[in-house]
Amino acid sequence: MTHDRRVLVHDDKAALIESVATRFLTKMADILHEQGHAHVVLTGGSVGTGVLEAINASPDRDSVNWSKIDVWWGDERWVPRGHADRNEGQARAALLDHIDIPAGNVHAFPASDEGLDIDAAADRYAAELKSMAAPESTVPQFDVTFLGVGPDGHIASLFPHMQGIRENDLTVIAVLNSPKPPPERLSLTRWVINSSERIWLVVSGPDKASALGLALAGASRDEVPVAGIRGRHYTDFFVDGEAAAEVPENLIEQPQ
């Protein structure tokens, strides 16, 4: 059963990033204590990368047994492996290269210079997800999935009025005509994201306020893709004051 979505408002972007990083480290310790292993889905963008940098800078970073965590991505840009636009590279520089996590626990999307076309790359990532899933499933149990939100309300690489947000069968899709460059991308689909135990949307800035307000006021997922995001148990919007400007008051909680 999915719980109601919560909105936790922070004073500014810096406070938001620090709070989410601290919460993540605490939650990972709890999850690993309870179940011994965890799967985490990362996002890109300045706020997502900022959270990873804050995790890396935390004195509690090494209290987490990173060897018991598998890391995935919600989407990736279809560019060469070392390209600055890749979410993978940004995450490695911010955190993954600094922690004791086995290489086999880091599940990056294929890159455009690895001899696959984009459709084959989507199929490969889908197969990798399935290889780590329970026998009756096609994807692992994602314990925490991070998402950013675009000014148009897109999440991962699922954009308004495009087929990707409506995909109900595939686990991974190739996006060929993204309205945001680069035009070619790979993305988890909405139902896969929604299979996550906890979805943490981390959102900052006044340009996100309209999309966030519409999504939480009941807009359609086709118009505002983030409106269609609900985790299995928890869906938390961690936002700064600017991004929260149009959020309905009754949904706002104060961070603990």
pLDDT attached to residue 46? 93
CA distance 48 to 169: 27
Residues 158, 165: Cα–Cα separation, whole Å: 5
Joined tokens for residue 134: 């329970």
What pLDDT score does 1 carry? Answer: 39
Specify the pLDDT at position 3: 56
Q: In the chain, what are the domains?
A: 6-253 (3.40.50.1360)
The closest alpha carbon to 52, from 67, 73, 36, belongs to: 73
Q: Are 127 and 199 in contact (CB under 8 A)?
A: no
pTM as predicted: 0.95
Q: What are phi and psi of 181, to 5 degrees?
A: -70, 155
Q: Which of the 8 DSSP states describes residue 132?
A: T
Instruction: Return d(Cα 144, Cα 99) in angstroms, integer.
Output: 18
Q: Encode the chain (256 residues) as per-residue pLDDT tens digits.
A: 345 789 999 999 999 999 999 999 999 999 999 999 999 999 999 999 999 999 999 999 999 999 999 999 999 999 999 999 999 999 999 999 999 999 999 999 999 999 999 999 999 999 999 999 999 999 999 999 999 999 999 999 999 999 999 999 999 999 999 999 999 999 999 999 999 999 999 999 999 999 999 999 989 999 999 999 999 999 999 999 999 999 888 888 766 5
